[in-house]
Amino acid sequence: MKPLYPLKLKPVFKEIIWGGQRLKQEYGKDCDFEKLAESWELTVRPDGMNVIENGPCAGSTLADYLDAPANGPAFPLLIKLIDACDKLSIQVHPDDAYAQAHEGEYGKTEMWYIVDALPGAKLVYGLKNYDKETFRAAVANGTLEDYMNEVEVKKGDVFFIPSGCVHAIGAGILIAEIQQSSNVTYRVYDYNRPGKDGKPRELHVEKALDVIVDYKPEDIEAIRFACGRSSTSLADCRYFAVDRYVVDGAPLTLSARDNFLHLLCLAGEGMVGDVAVKKGDSIFLPVGLDAVAVTGCGLELIASRAK
């Protein structure tokens, strides 16, 4: 039986053309990438695997600790910190049925917690006046941005993105992303910019048109809180539950008795059990670990579990 204790996880870094420097400068991510776009804080995937940094299992992969397959989609969540120095492509993700039929992977429902945003920063969040043929024509003639619903954002905002919802992160936004463990993305527009090889990145227009859903705000909120809501809840849907806690003086008790719990530290410092944590740290509480004491000074935690 593996020892039960709070596991400090080493992140996995991803360099993408729209990334920046903030994760290195502000969150202590030790990385040589010029454009550090993503820090994968919880991942059990063949394209990214956390390693345990502390305790008797230090040096082991999270997959080995969990006895989970590293080459399959068995682990349910992928959690990232994202630095969008430039805007991301306009994209959409399929649901489970479509993704499994066409990609051999799960679909992707996700949520964004806005960690920070420059004044005036915006997201693409859904569509305006959607019609499939009009959308296809807009892609062809370069007017797609006219049909995007743009939303100005600020620190602390939450955006829930069910599969089928067209979206894009704008420039100047730092995000904590909680999602199904899937990397299936259908790009519909990438601002005609070159990728790392100098060529335009691949678009997936027809697949995107297969899966786009013209969501209304009330539809998204119903999905976001389909399983309940509390004073700390950011989302509680069929795939994950996410809460935000601020620990500043009075201690907090957390439990992973029946399900794992992942803690992403966005600010402050403190202790999770006997493990010291600070801004940028990632802690995994394995199943069976109950009544974990959390103390801190201005300690902001995003706590996520799979459903």
Q: Quick count: other Cβ atoms within 10 Å of Cβ 26?
A: 14
Beta bridge partners of 240: 306
State how far the Cα of 85 lies from the Cα of 66, in Å rounded to an integer: 35
Are the C-beta atoms of residues 184 and 93 closer than 8 Å to each other?
yes
Among the listed residues 101, 43, 91, 105, the one whose alpha carbon sits nearest the alpha carbon of residue 68: 43
Are the C-beta atoms of residues 163 and 207 closer than 8 Å to each other?
no
SS3 call for 230: coil
What does DSSP say about strands 51-52 and 7-10: parallel, antiparallel, or unpaired?
antiparallel
Rg of the chain over all Cα atoms, to the nearest angstrom: 19
238 is catalytic: no
- 99 phi, psi to nearest 5 deg: -65, -40
Among the listed residues 269, 259, 260, the one whose alpha carbon sits nearest the alpha carbon of residue 296: 269
Alpha carbon separation from 263 to 8, 104, 133, 230, 284 (Å, rounded) = 10, 29, 43, 18, 6
Say which residue the tokens 């670990």 belong to.
289
Contact partners, residue 213, CB within 8 Å, separation at least 6: 162, 163, 164, 165
First to last CA, the chain: 24
CA of residue 217 relative to chain centroid, distance: 20
Catalytic residue among 22, 45, 136, 187: 187
Are the C-beta atoms of residues 102 and 141 closer than 8 Å to each other?
no
Catalytic site positions: 187
